[in-house]
Amino acid sequence: MRKKKLNKQQLREKKKIEDKRFMKSLIVRFGILFLLLGLILVFVTYWCDTRYTFRKHALYGKELSFKLICMHHNKLTYHESVEFEYDGGTFYVCSDHCQKAITNNYSEEAFIADTYSEDTVRKCDAIIGLKERGEPNVLYFTNKQNFEKYYKVKEKK
C-alpha cells in the first residue's frame, strides 16, 4: 500500500499541528523544571527552618537527644547544641550566654522539677520530651516511666 502524497497546504497544516504540540510540551517541560528549581531553592534556603518545624511536630511524645535542646532556655534549638562539663555533668546550651547563666546560677538553672512526679532532677540527668506538638518548649523527667505516663495521660485528653 502506498501512502497518499499530501499537497502543500496539507503539509503546512500538519506542520502547524506538530509545532503546536511541540510548543505545548516544551512549555510544560520548562514549567515543571522551573517549579522543581523553585522548590529546591526554597528547601536549600530554608533547610534549617524546615528541619526545625519537622522536629517540633515529629518528635512530640519521643525522647529528645540532649544535642537538640538548650538547657538554659528549655527549648528545642535550630542547630545542634554546644556541650560543656560542669559539676560532674554534661550540659547542652545554644550559646556562651546560656553557658554562663548555668555556671553562674547553677542551683537555679541546673535543676528542675519532674513534670509528672514533681521530684527535683538535674537537667543533664533527665529524660527530655516536648511539651506540646509544634511548640519548642521541653519538659524534663526523672525516668522513662514518668515520661511514658505523662504522654499517655496527654493522649487521653
Mean pLDDT by 10 residues, the chain (157 residues): 73 90 95 96 89 93 95 93 93 95 93 93 95 95 94 85
Q: What is the pLDDT of residue 17?
A: 93
Q: Residue 74 falls within a domain, yes or no?
A: yes
Q: How far is CA 26 from the centre of its chain?
A: 36
Cell numbers linked to 153:
495521660
Q: What is the pLDDT of residue 93?
A: 96
Place of cell 509544634: 134
Place of cell 515529629: 58
Pairing assessment for the beta strands 120-122 and 127-130 based on DSSP bridges: unpaired
- Judgement on whether residues 96 and 19 belong to the same structural domain of the protein: no
- Judgement on whether residues 39 and 64 belong to the same structural domain of the protein: no
- Judgement on whether residues 69 and 130 belong to the same structural domain of the protein: yes
Per the structure, the complete domain to which residue 75 belongs is given by 58-156
Half-sphere exposure of 142 (CA within 13 A, CB side): 11
Query: Distance between CA 60 and CA 135 in Å, rounded?
Result: 9
Query: Looking at the 3D structure of the chain, how many domains does it have?
Result: 2
